[in-house]
Amino acid sequence: MFLIMKYFAKLLKALASEASPGQIAGGIILGMIIGLTPVFSLHNLFIVILILVLKVHIGMALLSFMVFSGVAYLADPIFHSFGVWLLELESMQQTWTNMYNNDWWALTKFFNTVVIGSFVTAIILCFPAFPLVKYGVVQYRRHIHAKVQKWKLVQAFKSTKFYSIYQTVSRVRG
């Protein structure tokens, strides 16, 4: 229970932080890609590098990764079916064969139905998800943040010794 409250508090803090809505949305989207696809895939190394190089909210990327990993576990049969469909496309057979026979492309494991199905799904979901998340962050800051700060649970949490220590440590760390 405490762990859930801790991550919920971090989520609310990130939404109200100085980070731009684009930075938060970018972190969520990149975390979503890693979470939806098998973790130990070559493309995820590229995504981690993007998270470190681009100015995105790393905490939101980690939180998004954890959430979407659970979603991916439930959606693996769908990813498998989609991957089978992609790999059996007649027009793509030569491309898949060339990729499989190339040592570098073979490292991506795109010949695996779950890997290709989840990766393509994650990439497709990025296009509508980014503007929606960005819009959601703006709306949260504009309409909801002040109301959340008045919740009894938030007030109780802010009055704890743990929160005051956390604030002190946050200020010291910058």
Give the list of residues 6+ apart from residue 105 with CB closer than 8 angstroms, or none.
98, 99
Contact (Cβ atoms closer than 8 angstroms) between residue 134 and residue 22: yes
* pLDDT above 80: residue 69: yes
> By three-state DSSP, how is residue 137 classified?
helix
Give this prediction's pTM.
0.80
Residue type, 145: H
Cα gap 93→119, rounded to integer Å: 18
Contact (Cβ atoms closer than 8 angstroms) between residue 37 and residue 115: yes
User: Given phi > 0 = left and psi -120 to 50 = alpha, else beta, which region is 151?
Assistant: beta
Alpha carbon 15 to chain centroid, angstroms: 15
* pLDDT above 90: residue 1: no
Cα gap 24→62, rounded to integer Å: 11
Query: What are the tens digits of pLDDT across the range 94-151?
Result: 999 999 899 888 888 899 999 999 999 999 999 999 999 999 988 888 887 767 766 6
Query: What are the tens digits of pLDDT across the range 157-171?
Result: 666 666 666 666 556
